[in-house]
Amino acid sequence: MIGHLASSLELIHPGTLRVLGRAEATLLGLSRFYTGLPCKAGHFAERFASNGQCTRCNAAKARSREHLRGLRDPSHRMFRNTLRRTGMALRGRASPAKALGCNHPELRDYIAARFRPGMTWEKYRQWEVDHVTPLSAARTLGELVELCHHKNLQPLWRRENLVKGGAKSS
């Protein structure tokens, strides 16, 4: 199916998926190239000029590594969830990573320092990351970015967070 898509795109946009070899792509200074042939997994996709790997296989392996890291390291899963939720709130108007204002180890340590009795990383999902001042209190993009900052986050037991709802924590 993708092979048919590739040839259809070639007809609609001549030159879009030009068939190249890895050596030619490297000489042209391209980071990717298209062979017109399937990879070992059967993908008709571009390949990286640096290593010849299929871009779709590479993306699948990256997703798998990320999933496994999340299973092994709950603090990493919390960081990725927090970044994802920040991105959803900002809707492309600002960088989630910049708005959060910290990296994974900094957020992990910040949240861990605020654990309530009984909270551990192994119990993540029984507790949640909550905004002290709800994002709904923001009236401008600038205020929203400020409220996305990690200093406005706290760990709360899931039940407490449900009861709190959108109210500001005291």
Q: Each residue's pLDDT tens digit in the chain (170 positions)?
A: 444 444 434 444 445 678 989 999 999 999 999 999 999 999 999 999 999 999 999 999 988 888 887 778 999 999 999 999 999 999 999 999 999 999 999 999 999 999 999 999 999 999 999 999 999 999 999 999 999 999 999 999 999 998 987 777 76
Alpha-carbon span 47 to 55, nearest angstrom: 5
Residues 6+ apart with CB under 8 A from 125: 74, 158
Alpha-carbon span 152 to 133, nearest angstrom: 7
Q: Is 35 in contact with 44 (CB distance < 8 Å)?
A: no
Alpha-carbon span 146 to 125, nearest angstrom: 25
pTM value?
Answer: 0.69
Number of H helices, E strands in the chain: 8, 4
